[in-house]
Amino acid sequence: MTMPAIRVRAVTKNYGALTALAGVDLEIEQGEFFGLLGPNGAGKTTLISALAGLVRPDSGVLEIMGHDVVSDYREARRNLGVVPQELVFDPFFSVRELLRIQSGYFGIRNNDDWIDEVLARLDLSHKAGANMRTLSGGMKRRVLVAQALVHRPPVIVLDEPTAGVDVELRQGLWQFVRELNRDGHTIVLTTHYLEEAETLCGRIAMLKAGKLVALDTTDNLLRRFATHSLRVNVE
């Protein structure tokens, strides 16, 4: 059996009296397009932050491509690309400078050929020299995706990448992420939009109040719940 892309075992995270993750177990296979659904506050971002090493769990184990996120952080992080929810950038850098800095963070020098390819695939070549503060929200969102790809990670996690994005850009982003999946990348996507998960994801996990309340193939989940009740569960 091949090693899973992501392994989460008995992960718990409390913020004071608030339990954000309550003993989550999850395995995502290499090459999957996996959806993480749940209402506001369900724990999706906390789980992603824990995978990215930004939040330390109180207990449990997280692994990316077999590397423990706590004890083998560098290797785990090298295997993971994260597209965060927030559009936070240093406004004084150009797009290319930002992507070079991100490459440097992973110890990669002379990454311009790959940066150019990623920018072209995201239809951002014409903005390579532009200052971040001059970009539209949709362009910034695509720069976030480019940033996640500079070190060519096999596993890519996207935290609500289409929140506040218009229909055209949303479809463009999905097409791009689909291509990444076809190229062999494992994709994990958090979303509030059931239609999105339905169209894109082979399996879905549902989090509610920090607990995994459902985990199955998209087809089985849709069969198990009437579409209406599935909607109620995720919204």
Interface residues toward ligand ATP, by CB under 6 A:
15, 18, 20, 38, 40-46
Shortest spacing between CB 31 and ligand ATP, in angstroms: 25
**Rounded distance, CA 155 to CA 77, Å?**
10
Nearer to ligand ATP, 46 or 147 (CB): 46
The residues, ordered by sequence, that sit 6+ positions from 177 with a Cβ below 8 Å of its Cβ are 156, 158, 161, 187, 189, 200
The torsion angles phi and psi of 60, rounded to 5 degrees, stand at 100, 175
Start-to-end CA span in the chain (Å) = 36
Nearer to ligand ATP, 45 or 111 (CB): 45
Shortest spacing between CB 152 and ligand ATP, in angstroms: 27
Shortest spacing between CB 18 and ligand ATP, in angstroms: 5
Strands 33-37, 59-64: pairing kind: unpaired
Shortest spacing between CB 115 and ligand ATP, in angstroms: 29
Nearer to ligand ATP, 20 or 149 (CB): 20
Q: What value does the CA radius of gyration of the chain take, rounded to a whole number of Å?
A: 18
Nearer to ligand ATP, 99 or 207 (CB): 207
